[in-house]
Amino acid sequence: MNQFLLVFRIFYHSYMKSKMKIYFSSLILFLLFSSQLVLAQSDNGIDKKVFTFKIDKDIDPAMTRRVKLALESAEKEDSDLIIIEMDTYGGAVNDADEIRTMLLNSTIPVYVFINKDAASAGALISIATDSIYMAPGASIGAATVVNGTDGAAAPDKYQSYMRSMMRSTAEAKGRDPKIAEAMVDEKIEIEGISEAGSVITFSVSEAEKYGFCEGQFDSIEAILEAQNMSDSQLIAYEPASTEQIIAFFLNPAVSGFLILIIIGGLYFELQTPGIGFPILASIVAVLLYFIPYYLNGLAENWEILVFFIGVILLAVELFVIPGFGIFGVLGIIGILAGLVLGMIPNQNFDFEFVPAGDLFAALLTVILAAIASVGLVFWLTPKVNEWGAFKTITLASTQQRSEGYTSSSYADTLNGKTGVVHSRLRPSGRIEIDGDIFDAYSRGEFIDQGEKIIVISTEGTSLKVKKHEA
């Protein structure tokens, strides 16, 4: 009996050991299978984030800011990949250099999908990415630097700078630096690819053949599918609300309206110092005008300084120096120059690469706004005291004798009288007739001290005058 029990125990322990072995073996196999499944899902792009944004306008300070903000957003989203959708004919060389530097320094892999064109600065930016993909009919190349006025080739120093950037960028990304350089320099001849006298512009098939394109696709989704990332989470860059507000104030029509407020506010405050409202409106308009351009890299510190120097010179002319001379002229020029320069991407008065259309638009906006402001000022000046809003801050209300006020009116006999300006009319001031001093105002024109005037009508306690032509 004891022998039987011993045999049973041995058999039972052996059975249990084999069962545990089977259990643990199954568990290990299950874990291995699960890990492989997770890896497979990861390889297929599940739970991966793909961040996308567009470069679909000229390469300028505003585009540089957009790219910077987009790359920062991609990092905040902890993105695994960035894809740029490209369609541009180029732009400023310095901005292209800044963008390509940001892409080269990106810790996140960057692809570019050329949806149509990647010319000039667009070619440089594309070469700075890790992979280039192109849509059917797209092209890349033609990176010769041209000026902004007539589209002619820029001086050789700019071409040399662009050639070096194209060459070094291609080397950094494992692409042929000689071909990249030939996209800029028409003198470079590469056998079988380009001839002397023309720069390289690749079609899709040519770009694929020579290593400047990884494939032809119709969309970003098709690119991701080819990379086994079709299940990735696509995140499109959306500008923040502040950026949308900034873009609104960059509209030429809005800029023109702000210029009108700036000039009109300065005029009314200089004519009636102490009221406060006109200068407050002007200050707010100045901030709303310059801040958006400053944030977009258009308005620089010295350009804003030119504007404020102009304001100071004009104030000196009006309050310190009699008449209207060099300080007034320089002040007006400074104000207008500051407003114009703040709108265009010049480099310290270098307009070589400023598009002629942008320069014309800036000049037209400022000039038309200034003319409208002057016209509005002359039209409103005689009416300003009649406004209900101004009656609360000016002595425009009726003052009755019963309330203790006394006043005097000028007799109609003063009509047609001649005299001289005692204190400059801007357009209000004082005049002298037959040794007596009277309050007066012109029809909107400025009349300097000492000039002859003639009374054309009496308006209560003020005389309306004009220049007297002998």
pLDDT attached to residue 407: 47
Q: Does residue 36 fall inside a structural domain?
A: no
Q: Does residue 266 fall inside a structural domain?
A: yes
pLDDT attached to residue 103: 96
Q: 230 and 101, same structural domain?
A: yes
Position 415 pLDDT exceeds 80: yes
Position 403 pLDDT exceeds 70: no
Half-sphere exposure of 356 (CA within 13 A, CB side): 7
Higher-confidence residue of 150 and 396: namely: 150
Q: Does residue 416 fall inside a structural domain?
A: yes
Q: 98 and 56, same structural domain?
A: yes
Q: 351 and 221, same structural domain?
A: no
Position 275 pLDDT exceeds 50: yes
* Residue-wise pLDDT tens digits, 49-85: 999 999 998 888 888 999 999 999 999 999 999 999 9
Q: 152 and 130, same structural domain?
A: yes
Assign 88 a pLDDT band (cuts: 50, 70, 90): very high
pLDDT attached to residue 22: 52
Q: Does residue 140 fall inside a structural domain?
A: yes
pLDDT attached to residue 68: 93
Q: 181 and 136, same structural domain?
A: yes
Q: 312 and 272, same structural domain?
A: yes
Share the mean pLDDT of the chain. 80
Least confident among 191-195, 330-334, 396-400:
396-400
Q: Domain end: 211, 238, 265, which one?
A: 238
Cβ density class 427-438: b for 16+ within 10 Å, e for less: bbbbbbbeeeeb
CATH code, domain carrying 90: 3.90.226.10
Q: 383 and 318, same structural domain?
A: yes
Q: 335 and 285, same structural domain?
A: yes
Tell me the average pLDDT across 164-188: 92
pLDDT attached to residue 110: 96
Q: Domain end: 204, 238, 272, which one?
A: 238
Which own/partner contact pairs does 244-252 have at CB distance under 8 Å and 24+ positions apart? 246/291, 246/292, 246/295, 246/296, 247/292, 249/288, 249/289, 249/291, 249/292, 250/62, 250/292, 250/293, 250/296, 252/361, 252/365
Contact between 169 and 124 (Cβ < 8 Å)? yes
At residue 229, φ and ψ (nearest 5 deg) are -125, 30
Position 211 pLDDT exceeds 90: yes
**Which domain, by its residues, includes 448?**
407-467
pLDDT attached to residue 383: 59
Assign 263 a pLDDT band (cuts: 50, 70, 90): confident
Q: 228 and 107, same structural domain?
A: yes
Q: What is the pTM of this model?
A: 0.66
In three-state secondary structure terms, 417 is coil
Higher-confidence residue of 445 and 173: namely: 173
Position 199 pLDDT exceeds 70: yes
Q: How many domains does the chain have?
A: 3
Tell me the average pLDDT across 344-367: 75
* Residue-wise pLDDT tens digits, 299-348: 888 888 999 999 888 888 777 775 567 888 888 889 888 888 888 877 66
Tell me the average pLDDT across 361-367: 86
User: pLDDT above 70 covers what percent of the chain?
Assistant: 76
Q: Domain end: 203, 238, 273, which one?
A: 238
Q: 438 and 357, same structural domain?
A: no
Assign 369 a pLDDT band (cuts: 50, 70, 90): confident
Position 29 pLDDT exceeds 70: no
